Amino acid sequence: MRILTVLTYYRPHTSGLTIYAERLARAFAKRGHQVTVMTTQYDKSLPREEMMDGVRVIRVPVALRISKGVIAPTFGMVATRLVARHDVVQLHLPQFDAPGVALRARLLGKPVVLTYHCDLILPPSLFNRFVNLVVQFQNNMAALLANHIVTYTQDYADNSAYLSRYQRKLTPFLPPVVLPPAEPGSAEAFAVRYQTCQQRPVIGMVTRFAAEKGVEVLLDALPAVLEKYPQAQVLFAGQYQNVMGEQAYADRLMPRIGKYEEMGCWKFLGNLSQQQLAAFYPNIDVLVVPSLNSTEAFGLVQVEAMMNNVPCVASALPGVRWPVQMHAMGKAVPVGDASALAEALLEIFAGKEQYRCDTAALAHQYDPDTVAAEYEMLFEHLLKKKS
């Protein structure tokens, strides 16, 4: 099967959406499919075309950047050529160009599947409000043109103003999550480097430093945690400098974080590879996902932590609350409630031994090959309907 995957950003850009897309594309290729990823050349240093893990990646030049989006004038022309050469088109949303690609696929008789990752909610401003409206319109046009829609959970679908309109052609698939085993001695070396043996408990956060991630909620919860556990520390893994569209947010929070850095109870680790994350998770006592709005629909890192028997505290947002509830591996707390987050952390620290799961079964459930097989059956069903 020739599969065309289209999205605005692809690797090496780091986000839950790009990681999902990369894992799925790799899994399709391993299952013997011809996979092409069409995306934008958001960074001019990236090659226009390359092979990545058996996946052909084509990047369209960017003429202009608007907020977190990009304008690529030749995107439609390239899409027309690629859609014609493939059997099925998969679009990752939110994506401004999605309806144009979906229309081309429908005109050429190619099934279209949308994977809807989350709502787009930009920081408050008159311009961002306009951008939100435009993206919402584009997403709705894409949904009308699509043959089928996939999202992470029924919980998120039921509570999304967008997805709830298209329930008749929607199916939830759990996302692809995979983590390699830690290399021998790597977890121990990590513990020495970051003093996780001396400073416990350790709170982990794995994300970009972005407004919707709720970093300030953890900051507000820390005093209560440090009062009970003066040696506690936060390890923040992920991009925290020069995050696109987030400089004002960083400027507002960094002075507060700087004080905790001076105390030795907050450390930024930067982006970690999968191998580094495999050493990271055994060194934390809990993972926090204090997201503030529906731009977060699941939180893939929760499953990575659970694969290491690490409990999570997540915001009680639709979709985000689902992993801890589904696997009984943590607590969901009210959105933006720092007191509830602190209380949940203290409860977990006091009884961490009760949070255990079947890690092998969990790994199989979220294995990219398992998820790719579900997509494959959906694609084949749609192709049969077309024929």
More reliable by pLDDT, 296 or 370: 370
Mean pLDDT on 85-99: 95
Neighbouring-strand partners of residue 35: 3
CB 210 within 8 A of CB 249: yes
- pLDDT for res 39: 97
The alpha carbon of residue 165 and the mean position of all alpha carbons in its chain are separated, in whole angstroms, by 23
- pLDDT for res 285: 96
More reliable by pLDDT, 194 or 221: 221
pLDDT at 309 over 70: yes
- pLDDT for res 53: 95
Distance CA 280, CA 103 (A): 44
- pLDDT for res 362: 94
- pLDDT for res 124: 73
In the chain the domains, ranked by start, together with CATH numbers, are 2-176+367-386 (3.40.50.2000), 186-364 (3.40.50.2000)
The structure's pTM equals 0.86
Q: Phi/psi of residue 146, each to 5°? A: -75, 150
CB atoms within 10 A of CB 237: 22
- pLDDT for res 294: 85
pLDDT at 256 over 80: yes
pLDDT digits (tens, 9 = 90+) for 199-253: 789 999 999 999 999 999 999 999 999 999 999 999 999 999 988 778 999 999 9
Half-sphere exposure of 183 (CA within 13 A, CB side): 8
